[in-house]
Structure 1
Amino acid sequence: MEHHYAQLSEVNLHYVSQGEGPTILFVHGFPEFWYGWKAQIDALSKAYRCVAVDLRGYNLSSKPIPVSAYSAKHIVGDLREFVEHLGGPVHIVAHDWGGAMVWEFATRFPELIRKLVIINAPHAYTLHRELRENPAQREAMDYFTLFRSDKAERVLSEDDFARLQTMFDSWDIGGHRVTREVRKNYLTAWKQPGALTGGLDWYRATKLVPPACGKPNVEDFELDARNHQVNVPTMVVWGERDTALLTGLLNGLDACVPDLRVERIAEGSHWVHHEFPERVNALIDDFLERLCVDSLAVQ
């Protein structure tokens, strides 16, 4: 595995790469970093060039100060420049906040994406609808109130980031133990100067929030599905036990994504790619080129 930096127009992004072949770009969410894709990189780099990036605000990448620097415009701009840096177009696999931004990136720059895999990440159009119409989804995202507050850094870093470490609780459901090394690597990333604030500023910059979070929020603007079309072949992998992003977000998604395949994993949570890495890796390989099918079958 090789470590690199890409100097873009606004930020310097750290990333890792491993393997040769068609490029897969892995894009993480909160509170992860490139290392969150290690199980996918180790398996798929047998036949692909796997690249995993630290997004702006995270780990070893630049951490701009103003909250406005974490708006979709800036992050989508990073993705465009970074894919061009990699020699795109590329396949993209994305999760959580990374997936939310990649949805928008795919809307604006479909020519830079070969195929798209989204793992438990909401499309803006269906998220807007569900936050307006579904009380259960609004309640599920009530944690945004804390994450957008001034006390968020203090609360989330208490007791050696105890609240963030709860994300590991389900990762061994598929038989993979969360080792001390894994915890140490995450703690090291979270403790990078400015990293926790950088990740939280993604929450502070978005307008796609429940009404309880204050203004602006989803009640202050409309979204037209025609303006959020994703015209690239897309597979969505969804852990149905996700308590923050409910399955209602999948309803009507085909109105925005004509070439859509949905794979539901009933026993998986928001962290399904950690809980069932072999299943998720096989789905990714099958959807892309089936280049790893033999080696994945014997894992």
Structure 2
Amino acid sequence: MTRTITARAPGKINVSFRVGPPRPDGYHAVASLYLAVSLFEDVAATARADAAITVSLHPGSSAVADPEDFPLGEDNLVIRAARLLARHTGHVAGVDLEITKRVPIAGGMGGGSADAAAALVACNALWGTGLNREELSRLGSRLGADVPFALSGGAAVGLGVGDELSPLLLRTRTDWVLVPASYGLSTPAVYSRLDTLRDGLDVPTPTEVEPAVVQALVAGDHGALAGLLANDLTPAAMELAPELAAVLRMGEQAGALSALVSGSGPTVALLASGPEHAREIANQLLDEAGLAAHTVHGPVHGASII
């Protein structure tokens, strides 16, 4: 009987995101407050008799408008994750990987990183390679800065390029409305535009997330948190996608406590006071602006077998 193991990993919101100047390696130092939210990617790993590694897209992938446009080649993070794990452990058996995508593609929510994290967890279990979570996280950081957080989930402060994580224990959940766009934004393009906007400015390297925003999230103080949401990438994302300004405005008009661009965008995250308030905001956006939105909450667990 063919064996299949499925793992699930969450998308994320950057509740606070500070970006420093470019480093010599081309990356940017950041100080991020990550929150894993209840919009998930699934990766099903099915054993093969040979050493081939393949990837396919599940028909129920709600984040993919046209499956023909979704890349399934060797650059797909799921294949890269499986190959990296195989090389690292010396494993030679193959695997068929099927992705169910729900997190907006190129939406600033770490969907690709969630795919990679789920693939690492699923293949590690399927192949019996026995790596612990810390070892998987070190491998994941070679695939992308957000992969370690997709593995850990919950909430965390991320420094360095976002992969130096300090987990937070939250006392309560927060509720959000996510408004995806019909288009994506290239993360490198957003960072490049930010550098252009900052040309000639003395930008400090961030060394911490503002304590007040950490405290507000930990305590579940929605009123305080609403005034502290921040994302240094917002001006660059809005230059590349000027329509984001209207979405942010409509979210606030629909009653959101606050609105911000998630990561490099273009997904917009709207803070709600609770689950019922989130549903009201989503319904109003649909009724008055025709905007389909997801109600989500955080924190949620990181990549795990389902």
Per the TM superposition, whether the score is higher than 0.5 is no
**Structure with the bigger percentage of helix:** 1
Q: Return the TM-score normalized by structure 1.
A: 0.29
Structure index of larger Rg: 2
**Structure with the bigger percentage of strand:** 2
Could you say which structure has the greater relative contact order, defined with CA pairs below 8 angstroms and 6 or more residues apart? 2
